Structure 1
């Protein structure tokens, strides 16, 4: 290796002037820069997949080769081959050490390229299945990426003869301490992975989780964010989400809503039902299939109650309250037009016969009229 470095000084003898050396140095840097730009553009144009991974591998090898060649040319042109060889000898860096360094660099570069290759493989294997979402593919790739990098790091440490026994023991103790200190966070993380793969809901679904109801706006490893009907955001830890009952109202891309209305006890119920159906039949915000339903639900304190059930598609907070508003306005106008009364709460007070017998006459109030002289009687 030293002989090769010393041999590079022949370039310095061939190009002895400073302008020539500067020109060759700039040319070498330009070649490396052009190679890096070409590899970056190739990656952006090929996208993802097996073909892009192969091209990425070839481009990375070419980039590393051009960088090594440019470095050697610059050292030789400036006549520093002997100096570099002497410095390596003083540092006790021989062929074995240089080979280990090159092997480490090659392993790291290969790991990076292999991870990109795995991304293409995972995308092609899982991308064609309807049961697997893009988010789940991304999670799978991230887990594989972290595992591959950790394995490469362990291999590099083994190449440099680093004792891993103490490191593993320390990592085990640190893991136990972190596990005790972050039980809630770890539980949320594990629950997040379960939710991502079990898929009880997806982003955009209208769900009810415990007392929280709204549209799922984001799902992370730790928490799930829901936008309520009031426009507020509720952030729920994933361990709480996994331990509660989940009701998905929009699993099929629609949401069922309900409006209650009461009519007077003297009203013809069949006629009231027909008026309600006709009132909501022309509202564009409601789905035609499934058809809206009008059901008599029971006897109220002051009215006979109906439940008006209808569906909307692409549920959101705005579409929900607008649909309810349109239904309530339409039914109110139809009832007013047809003379159907929506009664107010009423109470009737009556005296049962004999309820006050035996109580006697109430006592007369004392005469508190003051005397003429201002005294009291």
Structure 2
């Protein structure tokens, strides 16, 4: 029996025990259960209206316990919150985010938001982009990247790593590197990404594959005379050709 199943059994047995003890006590006191049930019905309506959110969290807590979208220790994202599940109660779920902060989320909010569980499968695919110069051979770069990633211990062999041309960037042809890590946790993901970046950069340097930095090409229109680049100060002829406004700015 897993820890999650033990927790469900414990909470269910507690409710059954409390209910049984309550019925026994009422029977010993010879209380009219019919009238009590009518009064309990009215009381339930009042309490339900006054504590809708609490009851919603309570019901959602039991739904989460039985549906099991995640368990304690899983790396999950609930809406905008992401972290490791540290506790699941019938009222709320507690996460520890990557800054060491504890985030408590009511279960009714958990149940009506998208839940991403990155631990359940036991494998996590990671994507990292890298740009190569337009003069480089994409196939050669793909092969070099795959070989560099495959030799890393932080990355699993199956499924194998993949590298695909993704798009034409402003200054580079962008390749998307895909690889998998097992037993995914945030530290394992960051360690794998760091290892892949370092290994691929080294492989590209050995193969003389350039990773370009952002750059721009400037051209001038023919009717304006184009651009002229000088090594030193402008000559007297160039200054004479300048417009009065340009000379004034000088």
Q: Report the count of equivalent residues.
A: 232
Q: Distance in 2 between matches of 1:347 and 1:339?
A: 22
Partner residue in 2 for 1:266: 135
Q: Does 1:315 align with 2:161?
A: no
Q: Any gaps of 5 or more consecutive residues in structure 2?
A: 226-241
Q: Does 1:157 align with 2:18?
A: no
Q: Distance in 1 between matches of 2:36 and 2:198?
A: 71
Q: Does 1:134 align with 2:3?
A: yes
What is the CA-CA distance between 1:146 and the residue it aligns to?
2.0
User: Per-residue displacement from partner, 1:181-223 (whole Å, max 9, x unpaired)?
Assistant: 2222221221121111112222233333322333333222222
Q: TM-score w.r.t. structure 2 length?
A: 0.80
Partner residue in 1 for 2:116: 247
Q: Does 1:222 align with 2:91?
A: yes
User: Per-residue displacement from partner, 1:61-92 (whole Å, max 9, x unpaired)?
Assistant: xxxxxxxxxxxxxxxxxxxxxxxxxxxxxxxx
What is the CA-CA distance between 1:284 and the residue it aligns to?
0.8
Q: Are the counterparts in 1 of residues 118 and 124 from structure 2 also a CA contact under 8 Å?
A: yes
What is the CA-CA distance between 1:276 and the residue it aligns to?
0.8
Q: Are the counterparts in 1 of residues 162 and 179 from structure 2 also a CA contact under 8 Å?
A: yes
Q: Are the counterparts in 2 of residues 188 and 237 from structure 1 also a CA contact under 8 Å?
A: yes
Q: Distance in 2 between matches of 1:252 and 1:308?
A: 21
Q: Does 1:143 align with 2:12?
A: yes
Partner residue in 2 for 1:209: 78
User: Which is helix-richer, 1 or 2?
Assistant: 1
Alignment of 1:1-377 (within 5 A): 127=1, 133-164=2-33, 167-354=36-223, 362-364=243-245
What is the CA-CA distance between 1:364 and the residue it aligns to?
4.4
Partner residue in 2 for 1:32: none
Q: Distance in 1 between matches of 2:99 and 2:136?
A: 36
SS of structure 1 residue aligned to 2:155 = coil
SS of structure 2 residue aligned to 1:226 = strand
Partner residue in 1 for 2:230: none
Kindly name which structure, 1 or 2, has the bigger radius of gyration based on alpha carbons: 1
Partner residue in 2 for 1:18: none
Q: Are the counterparts in 2 of residues 214 and 227 from structure 1 also a CA contact under 8 Å?
A: yes
What is the CA-CA distance between 1:362 and the residue it aligns to?
4.8
Q: Distance in 2 between matches of 1:341 and 1:366?
A: 42
SS of structure 2 residue aligned to 1:354 = helix
Q: Are the counterparts in 2 of residues 296 and 305 from structure 1 also a CA contact under 8 Å?
A: yes
Q: 1:181 to 1:365 in 2, by over 3 A?
A: same
Q: Distance in 1 between matches of 2:87 and 2:155?
A: 27
What is the CA-CA distance between 1:235 and the residue it aligns to?
2.7
